[in-house]
Amino acid sequence: MRFPARSRIVEVAPRDGLQSLPRMLSTDDKVWLIDTLSDLGFHTIEVTGFVSPRAIPNLADADEVMARIRRRPGTLYRGLAPNVRGAGRALAAGCDEIVGLVTASESYTGRNQNMTLQAAFDQALASHRVVEAAGRQFVLAIGMAFFCPYEGAIPEERVLQLVDRAWSAGVRSLYLAGSLGLEHPREVGERFGRIRDRWPGLDLGFHVHDLAGMAPANILCALEAGVDWFETAICGIGGGVATPSATGNYPTEDLVRLFADCGVDCGLDARAVMLASRQVAQRLGWPLNSAAGRFGDRLENLVTRAG
């Protein structure tokens, strides 16, 4: 296994994590969370989403959050925009990067977005044009890229077609998301490897979920296949199909540890991120379900002579 010298981490707890939190979080807590993450030195932080407050009440204060956070030079602040209207709001709020969403599942898109995959794709591309015209960065998220609870395994060819259409429309940055966390190492490595080979100029990410407990292995295979960045959430904040403590997003503190141990430089200090994860869990009342958060690192597990 070859490990690259460096990689990037996009922290998604403030948007993708909080979006499915069962309770409302105060704007103060959100600003505190994002400022804490900024202090750690993340490359990119997904701050909020510019969506209907009725659809996602926990993101209703998107503009206020963007206005109140401290912006660290060197960190990109990303907003989610489901459509052109959201993209416009995200641009006005000062987001450096805007993410648009499609899924690789016709059934899921129909049930969750009440539209066809084609319509969802067109909407994302419309956002892309608006964002590009404004000179900001656009990222396309492709959800359900491996397995869909309605359709089962998603064929690789369907994902490659979506990437091809996005590339042809000028999209140069996109990520695949497992969404459920039932993807497995071999298909992760093969799918990303195929995309890497066909579009070497694409900035390519992997949004990591972990229902099946295979995330560390999936990450290694994606890393080896040439994925440029990984999306995770501190404390694994985010919803899942089963219990909120065990599924949802893969914990950032575990990924930073994995990178540090394997010599992959992501510009973050593993110990600082681990300690921050404990503060975040305590302040937000979120269970500390990461291995790093719960059990600490080697230093914490060393029995000293005095001990």
Among 152, 155, 170, 285, binds a second copy (CB under 8 A): 152
What CA–CA distance (Å, rounded) separates 238 from 232? Answer: 10
CB of 1 to a second copy, least distance (A): 5
With 0-12 / 13-18 / 19 or more C-beta atoms within 10 angstroms meaning exposed / middle / buried, residue 155 is exposed
CB of 283 to a second copy, least distance (A): 23
Q: How far, in Å, are 47, 187, 284 from residue 183 at the CA level?
A: 26, 7, 29
What CA–CA distance (Å, rounded) separates 101 from 121? Answer: 8
Q: For residue 44, what are its two tokens?
A: 């990119």
**208: three-class secondary structure by DSSP:** coil
- In sequence order, the 6+-apart residues with CB closer than 8 A to the CB of 43 are 8, 9, 10, 74, 75, 76, 229, 266, 267
CB of 230 to a second copy, least distance (A): 13
With 0-12 / 13-18 / 19 or more C-beta atoms within 10 angstroms meaning exposed / middle / buried, residue 197 is exposed
Q: How far, in Å, are 46, 68, 74, 176 from residue 28 at the CA level?
A: 17, 9, 23, 31
Q: Does 160 bind a second copy (CB under 8 A)?
A: no
Q: Which is nearer to a second copy, 52 or 112 (CB)?
A: 112
Q: How far, in Å, are 5, 97, 165 from residue 251 at the CA level?
A: 21, 22, 31
Q: Does 292 bind a second copy (CB under 8 A)?
A: yes
Among 28, 168, 201, 302, binds a second copy (CB under 8 A): 302
CB of 95 to a second copy, least distance (A): 32
Q: Does 169 bind a second copy (CB under 8 A)?
A: no
Alpha-helical runs (H) found in the chain? 18-19, 27-40, 62-68, 84-92, 106-113, 117-133, 156-168, 185-198, 215-225, 252-262, 270-284, 291-295
Site residues for a second copy, 213-272, by CB under 8 A, read 213-217, 219-221, 224, 241-242, 246-247, 254, 257-258, 261-263
Binding part of the chain for a second copy, among 10-18, 73-81, 128-136, 182-190 by CB under 8 A, reads 182-190
Among 86, 100, 189, 238, binds a second copy (CB under 8 A): 189
Pairing type for strands 152-153 and 147-148 reads antiparallel
Per-residue binding letters, 122-151, with a second copy (x by CB under 8 A):
-------------------------x-xx-
Q: Does 6 bind a second copy (CB under 8 A)?
A: no
Q: Does 185 bind a second copy (CB under 8 A)?
A: yes
Q: Which is nearer to a second copy, 70 or 111 (CB)?
A: 111
Query: Phi and psi (nearest 5°) for 188?
Result: -60, -50
What CA–CA distance (Å, rounded) separates 255 from 250? Answer: 8
Q: Which is nearer to a second copy, 127 or 289 (CB)?
A: 289
Among 55, 70, 153, 164, binds a second copy (CB under 8 A): 153
Question: Residues in contact with a second copy, total (CB under 8 A)?
Answer: 46
Site residues for a second copy, 94-123, by CB under 8 A, read none
Among 56, 180, 204, 270, binds a second copy (CB under 8 A): 180
Chain mean position to CA 153: 21
Q: Does 187 bind a second copy (CB under 8 A)?
A: yes
Residues that bind a second copy (CB under 8 A): 1, 3, 147, 149-150, 152-153, 180, 182, 184-187, 189, 210-217, 219-221, 224, 241-242, 246-247, 254, 257-258, 261-263, 290-292, 294-295, 297-298, 301-303
